[in-house]
Amino acid sequence: MNFGVSTIYVIVVLLINIFLAFLLLIKRKDATRLSLVGLIVSISIWLITNDQVDLSDTVARALIWSRLVMIGPILIALMLLYFSLFFTRRKISGRTIALIAIPSALLLLFVATNQFVESVTIETWGINFSYGFLYYAFGAYFALYAVMAFTILISSYAHSQGIYKLQLRYVFLGLIFSAILASFSNIFLPIVGIQQFYYVGPFSVLIFLSFTTYAIVRHRLLDIRIIIVKSLVYFILIVFVAGSFAGITFLTGILFTETLGLGQFLTSGLVALIVVLLLDPIKNYVSRATDRIFFKAKIDYNAVLQELSSAMAELIEMDPLLESVARITREELKVESVLTIPRNRQGNYRSRVNRPPHDTSLVFSKDSELIKYLTSGQMSVTDSLERKIEDTTNPRERKRLEASRDDMQRAHAAVAAPIMRKGELTGVLFVGPKRSGDSFTLDELRMFKVLGPQLATALERARLFDEVKAFTEQLQQRVEAATKELRERNAYLIALQDVTALITRSFDFEKITQQIADAIANELGFLGGLLVFVDEDGRHVFPQAITQTPLIEKALKLLPKPFNEFKGDLYKEDTLDHRAIREGKRLVATKFSDVISPPVPKLIANGIQKLMGIRSIVLVPIFSEEKVVGAVDFALAKPENEITDREYEIMQALADQTGIAYRNWKYVERIREANRELEDANERLTQLDQAKTEFVSIASHQLRTPMTGIAGYLSMMVGGDFGKMSADHAKILKQLLDESQRMIRLINLFLNVSKIEAGKFELTFQPTQLEDVVEGEISELRKIAEKKGLALAFTRPKPGLPAVQADGDKLKDVILNLVDNAIKYTEKGSISVSMQKVDTRVLVSVKDTGIGIEPDEAKHLFQKFVRASGIAQIHPDGSGLGLFIAKKIVEAHGGSIWVESDGQNKGSTFYFAIPVKQQKSSVIAS
């Protein structure tokens, strides 16, 4: 080994390389790091051997070193390819790794032969090599491996993102700097004749190695732009300083060729002073200029935050809010996607957005690793997750981290920021990778942190609003449904009311049934309906009414005869209609022919169904007094499964109403029948009555005239007008006279009654002093009373009574009857008659101490032929007509007559009252 000045430089580079290798291997030894260390070692070997070639002083030495110098490049190519493969995380097998190394191994085997470097000569300008054929093979090998390595790196860069892309960028940047510097020092400068910078070439490799090592070792890289800009500023400053010195030295060299020492010293000092003074302003200027160029798209985070805040303040609904936050963040931060997922009621986190790359199937359970991590309030960043996964040695920790990473990938997120409210995770903000592929800067991450609480408040508000809105909508829906139901029910009720009104108004069964049939279409809105009833015989069914619409009229024309001529036999034909009636059950049919065929031919039934568009038929039996009397068939345009309960209800109600109408009709029929019978009977009775009245009248007249004659003669004989008779004869004659007088009275009663009934009993009113009438009659009757040993008293009222408008003769009969009865029905005691004026009437009372009257009989005694029970045995000669006539007469005067008695043997008092003022005349009719 030889040592020269250059060796010191090589040693420095080697030391740096050792430091870099140490940095790489201190923490971990993975394939990427090892391959990079391999590259560093290869470069070091090359540097050392290269230096030895330069220092060779003999041909033999030069030949050995110039052959050994090939080892470095062979390994460099191999390691570069390895590095590119490992660094870009290609999945490669051990076999491939070994395969790649075969050409390198072969080359290494022959490195010391003359197939590489044949010979060397030492010339004045340096060492001259003559190469063997393997050298060219090596050239091809190197070029191939280098191209492959770069291709791998470049293609990988296109697909990479986040921190990985940034790492690649550092690698490239290092490469470019190295290449520029090396080509400057080792190609351009030698061309213009400046040789002394040749040693910069190998040194430039250090730039690449340093950049790459830094990229791999550092976890979070600085924004690469900052490095570029800072480097650029200092580069320009160096150029400025170096240029200034070079220019001034050159100028002074021309101006003061003879002046040495002091002059040059002064100029240099002046230049240094100028440079020091100008350095800072120039640096500022350059910085400003580069800032303008490189950070033109620099984001004003405050402005973004402000825009987000105002959007969050404005929007109150959840989805527009989420959409707006996503849009602003996406556009302002130039990221691929933004997604905010609020926590739902189950405590999980489900996406509500369907915007690629996200959809609503994206959901994170509260137990997922990512959510558990975010709940701690920390942000999750994919890049640092990857780092942690690489760094961790704990397999369980690795599993957890990988689960989190997978969660992040599902959300296409580079950053997941927690949205916390009162210590709870109420949502997650997922931010996708930047479109530029850059990593997020600390400023941006800080912004997400600031955004969190604001977003939490907005989300909470939106959630409340959504809840209120959902509640309101629900309420509205319910109200609408209820209103619709009510409206429907109301329509039905009105329809039903019309039918009910009709039923109660009319007894015309034909008309009612027709209107019910029409209501099925008009009021209820069905296609139509048919009302059938069971005959009196309980066996035959006949159609009573069918809805009249133009369509049905058309359908009826298909029938061979009028519809109401189709009679069915309940027990012969098993149609659904008949079954509904027989079983008293509601049935639903889908084929019309099932309902009416036979008797209606099947083909025709099908034709009608088609023509009318009938999809279902509901058959509801009609009940009347717990018996099925018929059925209502409803034809509907919808299938059975669409018929609502309400519709069934209304059909039932209509059938029930029809039943009521039927019952009413039957009642009315019965009443009419009974009425007709009664009228006939009445007619016959009237005729009989008339015949009887006539008979009584004729008989009485015919009897009375001879009777009056007989009585007259008897009276004369008893009075001795025809000479004296023996006492026996006289006694008999007296009896005959009494009997005939009784008969005349009876006949008179009969006559009066028949007159009353014939409407010929006339009264003539004139002013009458009633006390005179009473007094006259009393004096007549007193004799009879005394004969029976009874006292008959009459006290004339004082002062006198007003005259009444009355028929005195008829009232005389009344008094006669009452006093006569009193005498007749009193065995001992007395009878007293009194009169008085009460209000506007004159009241007459006849009081006796006789047999009395049972209270329940008192009222009936004024009826025709009525006598007290058991009286006929004691007094067989009564007629039961006296009080009847008396009542008629008193009532004809506008008065009233009644009796009061405390019961049997307690005596009785008969009263009658006549009003003072009277109409002129009147006729009594029965």
In order of 702, 707, 708, the CA distances from 714 in angstroms are 19, 10, 10
Contact call for residue 879 and ligand ADP (CB under 6 A): yes
> What gap in Å lies between CA 581 and CA 596, rounded to an integer?
13
Contact call for residue 164 and ligand ADP (CB under 6 A): no
Measured in whole angstroms, the distance separating CA 307 from the mean position of its chain's CA atoms is 38
Q: Which is nearer to ligand ADP, 179 or 816 (CB)?
A: 816
DSSP symbol at 58: S
The residue type found at 893 is H
Q: Which is nearer to ligand ADP, 132 or 880 (CB)?
A: 880
The residue with its CB nearest to ligand ADP is 878
| Span near ligand ADP by CB under 6 A; candidates 225-233, 636-644, 796-804, 819-827 | 819-827
DSSP string of 784-823, one letter each residue:
HHHHTT-EEEEE--SSPPPPEEE-HHHHHHHHHHHHHHHH
| Span near ligand ADP by CB under 6 A; candidates 471-479, 644-652, 732-740, 881-889 | 881-889
Q: Which is nearer to ligand ADP, 82 or 862 (CB)?
A: 862
Helix (H, G, I), strand (E, B), or coil: what is residue 735? helix
Shortest reach from residue 792's CB to ligand ADP, in Å: 13
Shortest reach from residue 857's CB to ligand ADP, in Å: 8
Can you name the residues that pair with 844 across neighbouring β-strands?
835, 912
Q: Which is nearer to ligand ADP, 460 or 857 (CB)?
A: 857
Can you name the residues that pair with 767 across neighbouring β-strands?
805
Contact call for residue 909 and ligand ADP (CB under 6 A): no
> What gap in Å lies between CA 475 and CA 536, rounded to an integer?
56
Q: How many residues bind ligand ADP (CB under 6 A)?
A: 19
Shortest reach from residue 877's CB to ligand ADP, in Å: 7
Shortest reach from residue 882's CB to ligand ADP, in Å: 3
Shortest reach from residue 676's CB to ligand ADP, in Å: 37
Among 168, 774, 853, 913, which residue sits at the site for ligand ADP (rule: CB under 6 A)? Answer: 853
Residue 882: enclosing H or E segment and its boundaries? helix 882-892
> What gap in Å lies between CA 597 and CA 605, rounded to an integer?
7
Contact call for residue 821 and ligand ADP (CB under 6 A): yes
Contact call for residue 894 and ligand ADP (CB under 6 A): no
Of 168, 156, 68, whose CA–CA distance to 112 is shortest?
68
Shortest reach from residue 712's CB to ligand ADP, in Å: 24
Shortest reach from residue 867's CB to ligand ADP, in Å: 3
Measured in whole angstroms, the distance separating CA 299 from the mean position of its chain's CA atoms is 48
> What gap in Å lies between CA 119 and CA 67, rounded to an integer?
10
For 259: left if phi > 0, alpha if psi spans -120 to 50, otherwise beta; the answer is beta
Q: Nearest 5°: phi and psi at 591? A: -110, 125
Sign of CA dihedral 513, 517, 520, 523: negative
Residue 122: enclosing H or E segment and its boundaries? strand 117-123
> What gap in Å lies between CA 490 and CA 511, rounded to an integer?
25
Q: Encoding tokens for residue 333?
A: 């931060």
Neighbour-count burial for 347-359, b at 16+ CB within 10 Å, e otherwise: eebebbbeeeebe
DSSP symbol at 615: -
Q: Which is nearer to ligand ADP, 411 or 846 (CB)?
A: 846
| Span near ligand ADP by CB under 6 A; candidates 542-550, 554-562, 605-613, 848-856 | 848-856
Residue 260: enclosing H or E segment and its boundaries? none
Shortest reach from residue 823's CB to ligand ADP, in Å: 8
Contact call for residue 746 and ligand ADP (CB under 6 A): no
Shortest reach from residue 892's CB to ligand ADP, in Å: 17
Q: Which is nearer to ligand ADP, 657 or 849 (CB)?
A: 849
The residue type found at 807 is D
Contact call for residue 883 and ligand ADP (CB under 6 A): yes
> What gap in Å lies between CA 672 and CA 799, rounded to an integer?
62
Q: What angle is formed at CA 674 by the lines to CA 670 and CA 676, rounded to 5 degrees?
A: 115
Q: Specify the pairing of strand 908-915 against strand 627-636.
A: unpaired
- Which spans in 192-349 are helix H? 200-217, 224-255, 262-294, 301-314, 318-333
> What gap in Å lies between CA 659 and CA 499, rounded to an integer?
12
| Span near ligand ADP by CB under 6 A; candidates 194-202, 304-312, 437-445, 866-874 | 866-874
Among 491, 559, 710, 871, which residue sits at the site for ligand ADP (rule: CB under 6 A)? Answer: 871
| Span near ligand ADP by CB under 6 A; candidates 77-85, 599-607, 796-804, 876-884 | 876-884
Q: Which is nearer to ligand ADP, 595 or 861 (CB)?
A: 861
Contact call for residue 848 and ligand ADP (CB under 6 A): yes
Shortest reach from residue 845's CB to ligand ADP, in Å: 12
Q: Which is nearer to ligand ADP, 628 or 861 (CB)?
A: 861
Cis peptide before 799 (omega within 30 of 0): yes
> What gap in Å lies between CA 180 and CA 173, rounded to an integer?
10
Shortest reach from residue 806's CB to ligand ADP, in Å: 21
Contact call for residue 868 and ligand ADP (CB under 6 A): yes
Contact call for residue 849 and ligand ADP (CB under 6 A): no
Q: Which is nearer to ligand ADP, 413 or 881 (CB)?
A: 881
Contact call for residue 653 and ligand ADP (CB under 6 A): no
| Span near ligand ADP by CB under 6 A; candidates 32-40, 361-369, 470-478, 864-872 | 864-872
Shortest reach from residue 827's CB to ligand ADP, in Å: 11
Contact call for residue 867 and ligand ADP (CB under 6 A): yes
Contact call for residue 851 and ligand ADP (CB under 6 A): yes
- 728 exposed, middle or buried (CB, 10 Å; 0-12, 13-18, 19+)? exposed
Shortest reach from residue 886's CB to ligand ADP, in Å: 7
Shortest reach from residue 889's CB to ligand ADP, in Å: 13
Q: Nearest 5°: phi and psi at 845? A: -130, 140
> What gap in Å lies between CA 119 and CA 131, rounded to an integer?
7
Among 65, 850, 895, 897, which residue sits at the site for ligand ADP (rule: CB under 6 A)? Answer: 850
Among 815, 825, 844, 913, which residue sits at the site for ligand ADP (rule: CB under 6 A)? Answer: 825
Site string for ligand ADP, 758-797 (x = CB under 6 A): ----------------------------------------
Residues of this chain that interact with ligand ADP (CB under 6 A) are 817, 821-822, 825, 848, 850-851, 853, 861, 867-868, 871, 878-883, 908
